[in-house]
Structure 1
């Protein structure tokens, strides 16, 4: 849940050398691998940050692996539909999925019956990037000019101020719940099927506010269709230098969305190693880096073991908030 430093991520696991030794016993990587196109399943609709980052990453991987890398959107049920498709794909390294906070940390707590196991049905490849959340309000709420006036109006309206998310129990929903709990106000939750429809609802004045990745919020702010009130990040960032952090405003929330590549379980270790190396090399692609920068992210490659340890900690932290708020998806 918390956005930790790169150093903290690297310190999360010291098992890389052991994994390297075990990999020596694995069959060698086929000389011609990959010999066919690779697909990245995105379990959300086009236009959201998971889709945008995946397409940026596909550019880098394609140049590194020498095969077309295509993005396939399979949205539904807060990422469970597409993630299940990826879990059932052949374990040959040609089908990957872009896992995010929701699909690999939160859903196991919010869904009473999750159709996949984020631990047993997948093997981690590498962290890709992490982006902070921003709290934004639609331009139609002219009386809300900053965070203080947002809280004032939220308390005054007592459950009528609406906020969008990309689904019940999503990271967008839970991050807003944290702020509402900290500031002691009631609100009206309006869940959508994806990030983009929620953004459009705020921009058109149908919904008042939303917690979402700062890149998406900034795309509306620059067009004067929304205002960014606060950033859920430890420090201010270059993309929005004048936006205060929630920590500055007295709310100890530093969170956002992390994105990482996974393959189906039983994918051979040599293929995972090759994919990990390809991710690291592909992240050097300038077009890929430009996509990350537009979303206020940066390339954050990791070992598979580091990603596994990070995701395990995330599951524990998000489960605490889910259980406290008793948020469940039937």
Structure 2
């Protein structure tokens, strides 16, 4: 896997943009490129996709837009891209849910997560955080949260962006590791799930760390732990789960895929345009605000990462008998 440093990104961007005219002849048809986001607007997938689209418009030399096609834990939007013409004009912002959870949790999934897509590049791995809302202001740390959940099994509620979502499964994994049981309240997207927590409609949520930091900065939630291997620069005072005795680390991949049988030159051109877009100062700032870092990869490296994610998340889905249909 190739991870680009801040020092190398501007240099790479300049070189790629300089060669954009020559690479433009590599086969992407004229027209608007759409990135299908398989979730509602307002969540991190939507935020990252919109920044990528804006910056790829420059690096690719043609208009790139975002289209939200939400539903069924991302499977509706993913299915749309799987059936699209493989010419480079339709792309998918794929995540752990679409490519690792759904294949294990759905019997009637409308796509094959491996055979129906051409990997382009990883965008980033989004770190997660556990937060409590205004209904649980007395809970100051993870120990108190676990104690409250154990004292009243099933009484504490938590939101997620859907049944079988990585948000739900991450909280399940925390409960299993800590020996605590909570009540799941699914929503139709990350943004409404986060809003429900901030409004006091639910007690807790595992959410992207950038969203947790923003809500905590406004005093609307308290962040108890991150699910990252080490403390995050955006949340330096928040300990990890591991620091607090819960042996769990996990994150959500965000990546771009094209339909299967997209020509190799088109895949290469899209990969190149992504690298240039991810190197721009504007997009680096978007990554920073989400407590994430850009991780440009080769298509082969992304394919290997997807297989690793499928094994890790699939094991949890099967052990907890999570079904989405």
Normalising to structure 1: TM-score of the pair? 0.90
Q: Does 1:227 align with 2:222?
A: yes
**Pairwise mapping of residues 60-99 of structure 1 onto structure 2 (< 5 A)?**
60-99=55-94
Comparing both structures, which one devotes a greater share of its residues to helix? Answer: 2
Using the TM superposition, give the Cα deviation of residue 32 of structure 1 relative to its aligned residue in structure 2, in angstroms: 6.9
Match among 278, 297, 309 for residue 273 of structure 2: 278
- How many residues in Structure 1 have an aligned counterpart in Structure 2? 307
Using the TM superposition, give the Cα deviation of residue 7 of structure 1 relative to its aligned residue in structure 2, in angstroms: 6.8
Q: Any conservation in 2 of the 1:34–1:67 contact (CA below 8 Å)? A: no
In the alignment, the residues of structure 2 paired with residue 166 and residue 112 of structure 1 have an alpha-carbon distance, to the nearest angstrom, of 20
Unmatched 5+ residue regions in structure 1?
Answer: 1-5, 9-27
Q: What is the aligned-residue RMSD (CA, Å)?
A: 1.6
Give secondary structure in 1 for the equivalent of 2:292. Answer: coil
Give secondary structure in 2 for the equivalent of 1:225. Answer: coil
CA, structure 1 residues 172+63, in 2 after alignment: closer, same or farther (shift >3 Å)?
same
Using the TM superposition, give the Cα deviation of residue 33 of structure 1 relative to its aligned residue in structure 2, in angstroms: 3.6
Give secondary structure in 2 for the equivalent of 1:72. Answer: strand
- The match for 1:147 is 142
In the alignment, the residues of structure 1 paired with residue 75 and residue 2 of structure 2 have an alpha-carbon distance, to the nearest angstrom, of 31
Give secondary structure in 2 for the equivalent of 1:217. Answer: helix
In the alignment, the residues of structure 2 paired with residue 73 and residue 67 of structure 1 have an alpha-carbon distance, to the nearest angstrom, of 20
- The match for 1:204 is 199
In the alignment, the residues of structure 1 paired with residue 232 and residue 256 of structure 2 have an alpha-carbon distance, to the nearest angstrom, of 25
Q: Does 1:39 align with 2:34?
A: yes
Q: Any conservation in 2 of the 1:175–1:211 contact (CA below 8 Å)? A: yes
In the alignment, the residues of structure 2 paired with residue 229 and residue 258 of structure 1 have an alpha-carbon distance, to the nearest angstrom, of 22
In the alignment, the residues of structure 2 paired with residue 235 and residue 44 of structure 1 have an alpha-carbon distance, to the nearest angstrom, of 28
In the alignment, the residues of structure 1 paired with residue 2 and residue 247 of structure 2 have an alpha-carbon distance, to the nearest angstrom, of 21
**Pairwise mapping of residues 1-330 of structure 1 onto structure 2 (< 5 A)?**
30=25, 33-330=28-325
In the alignment, the residues of structure 2 paired with residue 107 and residue 286 of structure 1 have an alpha-carbon distance, to the nearest angstrom, of 34
- The match for 1:22 is none
In the alignment, the residues of structure 1 paired with residue 244 and residue 2 of structure 2 have an alpha-carbon distance, to the nearest angstrom, of 26
- The match for 1:25 is none
Select between 29-38 and 190-199 the one with higher mean Cα deviation.
29-38
Question: Deviation string for 1:282-304 (max 9, x for gaps)?
Answer: 11111111111110111100000
In the alignment, the residues of structure 1 paired with residue 51 and residue 292 of structure 2 have an alpha-carbon distance, to the nearest angstrom, of 12
Unmatched 5+ residue regions in structure 2?
Answer: 4-22
CA, structure 1 residues 154+67, in 2 after alignment: closer, same or farther (shift >3 Å)?
same
In the alignment, the residues of structure 2 paired with residue 163 and residue 204 of structure 1 have an alpha-carbon distance, to the nearest angstrom, of 13
In the alignment, the residues of structure 1 paired with residue 93 and residue 28 of structure 2 have an alpha-carbon distance, to the nearest angstrom, of 21
Question: Deviation string for 1:235-283 (max 9, x for gaps)?
Answer: 0011000000001011111111110000001110000011111111111
In the alignment, the residues of structure 2 paired with residue 125 and residue 319 of structure 1 have an alpha-carbon distance, to the nearest angstrom, of 23
Question: Deviation string for 1:102-158 (max 9, x for gaps)?
Answer: 001110001121111111111100001111110000022122111111111111111
Give secondary structure in 2 for the equivalent of 1:114. Answer: coil
